[in-house]
Chains A and B, each alone.
Chain A
Amino acid sequence: MSVPTEYYVVLSAVLFGLGAVGVVTRRSAIMVFLSVELMLNAANLAMVAYARHWSITGGTHALQGQGAVFIVLAVAAAEVAVGLGILVAIFRNRASTDVDELSEVRA
C-alpha cells in the first residue's frame, strides 16, 4: 500500500502556505529567501506527486513532472547563487538585511 497522492498534495499545499506566509511576514532577507525555497520545493513535491500518480494510473507522460522539477532545482540553484551574492553586497553596505529598509526605489 502506498501513500495516496492526496496526502502529498495536501503536504505540498501546507508547505507552500508556510513559505508564502514566511515571505510576507519575515523581514530578514535570509528568511525571505528560505521561505521562497520552501515554496519552490512545495511546488516540486506537488509535481513529483502528480508524476507518480500519473505513472500509477498508466499515464504516458509521467516523466514530464520529474523533468520540470529538475528545471526548477536548477533555476533555484542559480537564483540562490545570484540572490545570496546580492544579499552579501547589501549586507556589506548596510550591515542589515531588513527588506523593509530596502524601500528607497519607489514612486
Chain B
Amino acid sequence: MSDSTLNLVQLVAYAPLLALLGAVVNGLFGRSLKEPLPGIIASALVGSGFVLGVIALIAYPADAEGVRYTFGRFLQAGDLSVDLGFMIDQLSLVMTMVITGIGLLIHIYSIGYMRGDEGYARFFAQLNLFVAAMLVLVLADSFPLMFVGWEGVGVCSFLLIGFWYGQKENADAGRKAFIVNRIGDVGFLIGMFLTYQVFGSLDIQTVTQAAPAMLYGSAALTGIGLLYLLAAAGKSAQLPLQLWLPDAMAGPTPVSALIHAATMVTAGVYLIARTGAIYAQAPDAAATVAWIGVLTALVAAFSAFAQTDIKRILAYSTISQVGFMIAAVGAGAYWVGIFHVVTHAFFKALLFLGSGSVIHALGGEQDVRRMGGLGKRMKVTGTTSLIATLAIAGVPLLAGFFSKDAILSHTLTSPLLADSGSAVLYGLLLLSAVMTAFYMFRWYYLVFAGEERFEVAKRDNVHEAPAIMTAPLVVLAVGSVFAGYLGIQPFLARNVIAEWLAPVTAAVDFEHLSLTSEWLLIAASGVAAAAGLGLGYWVYAVNKGRLAKRLEPSPLTGLSRSGFGFDAASRAVLVHPGESVAEGLSVLDRDVLDRGMSGSAGAVGLLGRLATAVQSGYVRLYALTMLLGAALLGVLVAVLEVAR
C-alpha cells in the first residue's frame, strides 16, 4: 500500500475527534451561540467525519488486512501493553459509514425537530458525543479502547434518553437503560479478562488471528463467547436484557433514531462480528448467540402487536430486527449481520424520523389509536414511511428483503448451527418475518391510513414538517429502497458487501446451495412478507380492527402489551427485593446508626451542660470548692496512711 493511500485511509481516525470537538464546542460554548448554530456545527463536524469515511472507503485497497493508526500508549501494566490506536479495515469502515452517514441525517433532522428547545446546544453536544463514542467503539484496535467507546455510548444513551429529565419517567428511563447496560458491561469486562488469560493479548487483530489455531470448541473459547454475548445482549437489547429499549422512547425522537439505527444497538452485532473468529471455534457459544437472537426476534415481534405508542411499536421492532442480526452473526454469517445493520439503519432511522414528524404535527400525540389518515395530510412523511414499512417488512426488491433473506438462508445452512437445530431456527425466524410484516402494516395503517381519529380541533394544524426535516426522510427512503442491492444474492449479481467484508468476516465457510433451493428460500422470504402484510391488511383494513378489538381483553393481548411480562418479572425478581434490602438498610441507617450517632452527641452535650453549671463566676465559691477538694485529698491521704 502506497504512503499516500495510507495517509488517506488514516484520515478517518480523525472522525471521532471531529465529533468530540463538536461535543466540546457545543457543550462549553453552546449556550452563547444563537439557535441553529449549535446544530449546524454539530452536523458539519459529523458530516466531515462522513466525508473522511468516504475518502478512506474509496482509497482503501480491497485486499488490505487493516490499517492501523496509533496515537500512543494507552495502558502499560506488567506484560500487558495496550495502544491507543484505531484499526481501519473493511468492517470498521462500513460501520463508520453507517454511524456518520445516518448520524448526519439525524443531526440535520434534529436542527428542525429540536427548534426552540431549552437544551438545544446541550442536545447537539450529547448527540455529537454519542457519535464520537460509537466511532471509538468501532474503530478501536483493542478491547480496552473498544470498552471506552462501549461505556461512552452507554453514558450518552443515559444522557439522551433522560434528556428531558424534568419529568421523572424520562430520568427513570435513562437510569434503567444505564443500569441494564451495566449488566452487559460486566460480561464485556470478564470476557476481556478471559481473553487476556487465553490469548495473552488484548489487541483485537492479534486475538482474531490467533483464534483459528485454538482448540475447536474448548471451554475457554465458549466462555469468552458467552461473556461477549452477555455484553452484546446488554447493548443490543437482546433477551433477557431487552428491558431498557422500549423505555428508551422517553428521549427525543431523533435520539431514538440514533440509538436504534446508527449507534448503540448495533454495537452488540459489531462486537460479535468483530470477534467472529472466536465464535467460529466455539460452536456452542455461536449456537447460543443464534438462539438468543431468534427468540428475541420472536418475542419482540409478538410484543409489538398490541403496543399503542407509535414509538414503542418501533422499539419492539428494533429489538426484533436486532434479534435477526444477532441470529445471523450467531450463524457465523458475519457479513450478513452487518449487511442487515446497514439496511436496517436506513429504514429504522426513517421510521423513527417519520414518527417524529407525526408527533410534531400532532403536538406531542404518541398514541396510534388517536392518529390515522395522516398520509393525506403529510405527503412526504407518509410516502417515505410507507417505503420504510415495506422495506422492513421484507417486500422483494426493497432493502430489508435482501438482508432478511440472507439471514434466513444463512441460518438454515450454517455449519456452526448444524447440531443446534438450524431448521427450527430458520422456521422461527421465518415466523418472525411474517410477524414483522404484520405489525409494521398495523403501524403504518393506524398512523397514516384509515379514518382520522385525532381531535377535530387539531385537523387544521396538522401540517407537513419543514424541509430540513423532510429532506433526511427522502434521503433515507432512497437508501431504504436501494441499500439492499449491496448484498444481492451472489448467483444473481455481484455481492458487493460480502466481497468487501470477506477479508474480515470470512471465519466460517458456508456451502453453496443449489440454484433451486436458493430460489425456494427467496420465494419463502417473499411469501413471508406478503403473508404478514396480507394478514395486516385483512385485520385492519378489511376487518376494520374488529378482530383486534375482540381480542383486546384476552390474555394474549396482555402478554403482548406487557412485552411478555419481562418488565414485571424483573421488577418482582430484582427491583422489589432490591428495594426491600434498601428499605431494611435505611431502617438500620436511620434507627440504629443515625440514632446512635445523635444519641452519643446528645450525651456529650448533656455532660458539657452539667460541667458548665460549675462555672458560676463566684470566686468565693471556687475557693470553697478548692478548699473542700484539698480537705478531701487530705482526708484521703490520712485514711490511706492509717490503712497502711
Q: Report A's interface with B, CB cutoff 8 A.
A: 20, 23-25, 27, 32, 99-100, 102-107
Contacts and interface: CB of A to CB of B under 8 A. Distances in A.
Contacts of B615: 106-107
19 contacts: A20-B627, A23-B623, A24-B620, A25-B620, A27-B620, A32-B620, A99-B619, A99-B620, A100-B618, A102-B617, A103-B616, A103-B618, A106-B616, A106-B617, A106-B618, A107-B613, A107-B614, A107-B615, A107-B616
B620 A23 contact: yes
Interface in B580-638: 612-620, 623-624, 627
Interface of B: 612-620, 623-624, 627
Contacts of B620: 23-25, 27, 32, 99-100
Nearest to B624: A24
Contacts of B614: 107
Given A102-B619, A103-B619, A106-B616, 6 more contacts: A23-B620, A24-B623, A99-B619, A102-B617, A104-B617, A107-B616
B17 to A, nearest CB: 68
Interface centre among A24, A25, A99, A100 (most CB of B within 10 A): A24
A106 B624 CA distance: 17
A27 B621 CA distance: 11
A103 B617 CA distance: 4
Contacts of A20: 627
Contacts, number: 35
Contacts of A105: 617
B103 to A, nearest CB: 72
Nearest to A25: B620
Contacts of A25: 620
Nearest to A20: B627
Nearest to B616: A106
Contact of A24 (B612, B616, B627): B627
A3 to B, nearest CB: 25
- Chain B facing A: main interface SS: helix
Nearest to A35: B623
Nearest to B625: A24
Nearest to B627: A20
Contacts of A24: 620, 623-624, 627
Interface centre among B612, B617, B624 (most CB of A within 10 A): B617
B501 to A, nearest CB: 85
A103 B619 CA distance: 7
B434 to A, nearest CB: 88
B627 to A, nearest CB: 5
A24 B631 CA distance: 14
A2 B38 CA distance: 112
Nearest to B611: A107
A55 to B, nearest CB: 24
Nearest to B608: A107
Contacts of B627: 20, 23-24
Nearest to B630: A20
B347 to A, nearest CB: 81
The 8 closest A-B pairs by CB, nearest first: A106-B617, A107-B612, A103-B617, A107-B615, A99-B619, A23-B623, A24-B624, A106-B615
A107 B612 CA distance: 5
A33 to B, nearest CB: 11
Contacts of B623: 23-24, 32
Nearest to A26: B620
Nearest to A106: B617
A98 to B, nearest CB: 10
A100 to B, nearest CB: 6
A106 to B, nearest CB: 3
A65 to B, nearest CB: 19
A69 B619 CA distance: 26
A107 B627 CA distance: 22
